[in-house]
Structure 1
Amino acid sequence: MKVLILDNGHGKNTPGKCSPDKRILEYEWARDMVRRIAEKACLAGIHTEIVVPEESDIPLRERVRRVNALCAKYGTQNCALISVHINAAGNEGKWLNARGWTGWVAPKSSQKSKTLARLLYIEASRAGLQGNRLPSSSCYWVGNFAIVRDTKCPAVLTENLFQDNKDDVEYLVSESGKEAIATLHIDAIKKYFENN
């Protein structure tokens, strides 16, 4: 059995994780997105586990522990993790110009993590979500994030556009935007599980 593990990032008590106009609260958006991806995974016959069902902040160490417990339960070789986030170019509560989608792996990530990240990048590109970010020749970015660094299965952290870019926010709050972002995640994970 293949298992998609979904991490919905920050909780409601993480400060500053919102758009300048407060139309987007990252914790709400990420939980909605994870639910949408999980529903699509269910329809595709992919078993899904959500790491953080709570709305409150769960420390990274605990989120990593939960992921690794699922890897032990189902077998690391059967699992893949996606941690779902929205990016921000600054933390001063102002509208800024950076926009677009990125997928991140750990500095010493496995080849399978890189493969999943590339598949996500391809689907994001097909959806037209590259924005004004410098394209990645490897089709992923490298960051020392604990959720992808310390978990045992292939893992990618997705930054789904920018919560401090007005155009990105319009897309993120739209039903068509939410559907496109959920679809790119599930299309990539289906392709990944077909070959891994």
Structure 2
Amino acid sequence: MLILLDAGHGGVIDGVYQTPGKRSPKWSDGSQLFEGEFNRWIVNGLSERLSRRHIPYVLIAPEQRDVTLRTRVNRANRYKGRPSLFVSVHANAGGGSGFEVFTSKGTTQSDAAAHCFGQEFVREFPEKPLRADLRDGEYDKDRNFFVLRNTAMPAVLTENFFMDNEEECRQLLMSVEGRQRIVDYHERAIVRCVEGHV
């Protein structure tokens, strides 16, 4: 199985963050999280882990500039017909705590992949909330996100903690230890998907 890794939003070029918004508040010590930088850190960590496991992957948006959603989808869909999984990595905002995993609407192959991500999050962070919609017995939340509804393969979008929650942002999203743990549960979920050929 080929893993298509998508780091949401843009990165930082010459000290300038490339995506309007998509950042934490500036904390009292002057620190601030730029979501696109966090997303790239996690995706780059995953690429190293998958390389060691000899699991093939493609970086969908390796550039620091903010690649359009249409371009991301078009790049992913080049692999249509090949067993693959699209994984888009994000940090959340809007008030809250914990982890969410999204798939397109309806019952699809993506649901099984999302279930792996939800279970591995709970295993890594049993004390943190898994923000799941359990009405259908699955851990995913169905949304009409562009990259989920237009990719031609199973696709999940992970929202990893809340960058406007100071405790989660500073302790998990901005620390190397916290980021490594986020890479850990993504890696385990991906391995389960590969082994189960979701």
Q: TM-score, normalised by structure 1?
A: 0.88
1:26-68: per-residue Cα shift (whole Å, max 9, x none)? 1111111100011111111101100001111111111100000
Match of 2:90? 85
Aligned to 1:156, what secondary structure does the other structure show? strand
Query: 2: CA distance between counterparts of 1:86 and 1:49?
Result: 21
Match of 1:188? 189
Query: 2: CA distance between counterparts of 1:130 and 1:15?
Result: 32
Query: 2: CA distance between counterparts of 1:81 and 1:46?
Result: 14
Query: 1: CA distance between counterparts of 2:87 and 2:4?
Result: 6
Match of 2:25? 20
Counterpart AA for 1:4: I
Aligned to 2:169, what secondary structure does the other structure show? helix
More divergent stretch after superposition (28-37 vs 17-26): 17-26
1:118-177: per-residue Cα shift (whole Å, max 9, x none)? 000000011116735654322111111111110001100000111100111121111211
Aligned to 1:23, what secondary structure does the other structure show? coil
Matched residue count: 183
Query: 1: CA distance between counterparts of 2:53 and 2:161?
Result: 25
Aligned to 1:139, what secondary structure does the other structure show? coil
Query: 2: CA distance between counterparts of 1:129 and 1:10?
Result: 28
Aligned to 1:66, what secondary structure does the other structure show? helix
Counterpart AA for 2:40: R
**1:124–1:130 contact (8 Å) kept in structure 2:** no
RMSD between aligned alpha carbons?
1.6
Query: 1: CA distance between counterparts of 2:179 and 2:193?
Result: 21
Would the alpha carbon gap of residues 130 and 58 (structure 1) be closer, same or farther in structure 2, given more than 3 Å must change? Answer: farther
Match of 2:151? 151
Would the alpha carbon gap of residues 66 and 109 (structure 1) be closer, same or farther in structure 2, given more than 3 Å must change? Answer: farther
Query: 1: CA distance between counterparts of 2:43 and 2:126?
Result: 18
**1:108–1:149 contact (8 Å) kept in structure 2:** no
C-alpha deviation, 1:108, in angstroms: 3.5
Match of 2:59? 50
Query: 2: CA distance between counterparts of 1:37 and 1:125?
Result: 19
Partner residue of 1:128 out of 119, 125, 129: 125
Partner residue of 2:105 out of 90, 94, 107: 107
Match of 2:160? 160
Q: What is the percent sequence identity of the aligned residues?
A: 32
Query: 2: CA distance between counterparts of 1:168 and 1:35?
Result: 21
Match of 2:175? 174
Query: 2: CA distance between counterparts of 1:14 and 1:130?
Result: 32
Would the alpha carbon gap of residues 129 and 149 (structure 1) be closer, same or farther in structure 2, given more than 3 Å must change? Answer: farther
Query: 2: CA distance between counterparts of 1:155 and 1:129?
Result: 25
1:3-28: per-residue Cα shift (whole Å, max 9, x none)? 11000010142211111015210111
C-alpha deviation, 1:107, in angstroms: 0.6
